[in-house]
Amino acid sequence: MHIHKKTHPGHRRTKAVLSLAAAAVLAAVASAPAEAGNGGTGASLTKAPTGHAKLVHGKAIPPSDAPSKVVKVIEAANRIRNKPYKWGGGHGRWNDSGYDCSGSVSYALHGGRLLGSPLDSSGFMRWARGGKGHWITVYTNPGHAFMVVAGLRFDTSQTAGNGPGWSKNVHAERLSDFRKRHKARY
């Protein structure tokens, strides 16, 4: 003898809702990018791979292993990357309507708490320590200053606009014409 047990309509609805919820959770987990440095295998949307910054639509994305001061330098530079070139800009006040080469480098370094007051390109020739830094190197001579941060150049030349910006073109001129300066540990 076969006994057929009827299922209550409310139980069928509950099972269907739970099945849909479980499927939605599994789909969300499967499609979410994994965070670098947390055991995941995907790329993070807010951090570049270790060691080198990424350039996305003119904006630098800090590397996942960058120290917080380096991240803050990149964030500060990103804030002024579309400002126009202005001779002397960034020297009289931090928040200016435009920036020159050394003013833009000063602003970014100040954002990372690596510089207390703006320097011109000659002043950068004596700033901090000589030589190339691990994360940040300021290239300077009496007429021009720019910096390389996590593999990207921040400058008022070699950019898409007419003011400060990022470029992958690190070696646009003879770097032997510039002094290399860096802050200890960076």
Domains of the chain from N-terminus onward: 54-182 (3.90.1720.10)
| 43-70: pLDDT as tens digits | 444 566 578 999 999 999 999 999 999 9
Res 33: pLDDT: 41
Report the alpha-carbon distance of residue 117 to residue 123 in Å, rounded: 11
Pick from 179, 176, 107: nearest CA to 145: 179
Tell me the CB-side half-sphere exposure of residue 173, using CA atoms within 13 A. Answer: 13
Report the alpha-carbon distance of residue 55 to residue 64 in Å, rounded: 14
Verdict on whether the full-model pTM lies above 0.85 = no
Res 48: pLDDT: 61
Window from 71-75, 137-141, 172-176, 182-186 with minimum mean pLDDT? 172-176
Res 18: pLDDT: 46
CA angle, 136 then 168 then 176, to 5° = 60
For residue 14, the surrounding DSSP H or E stretch is helix 9-31
Residue-averaged pLDDT of the chain? 82
Based on its alpha-carbon atoms, the radius of gyration of the chain, rounded to whole angstroms, reads 25
pLDDT band at 80 (very low <50, low <70, confident <90, very high): very high
Question: Does residue 32 or residue 61 have the better pLDDT?
Answer: 61
CB 120 within 8 A of CB 102: yes
| Helix, strand or coil, per DSSP, at residue 31 | helix
CB 102 within 8 A of CB 118: yes
Report the alpha-carbon distance of residue 38 to residue 55 in Å, rounded: 23
Q: Hey, CA dihedral for 126, 128, 131, 133, is it positive or negative?
A: negative
State which amino acid sits at residue 142. P
Provide DSSP, 52-78: S-EEETTEEE-BTT--HHHHHHHHHHH
Tell me the CB-side half-sphere exposure of residue 110, using CA atoms within 13 A. Answer: 17
> φ, ψ for residue 62 (rounded to 5)?
-65, 150
| Helix, strand or coil, per DSSP, at residue 104 | helix
Q: Taking residues 131-156, what's their average pLDDT? A: 96
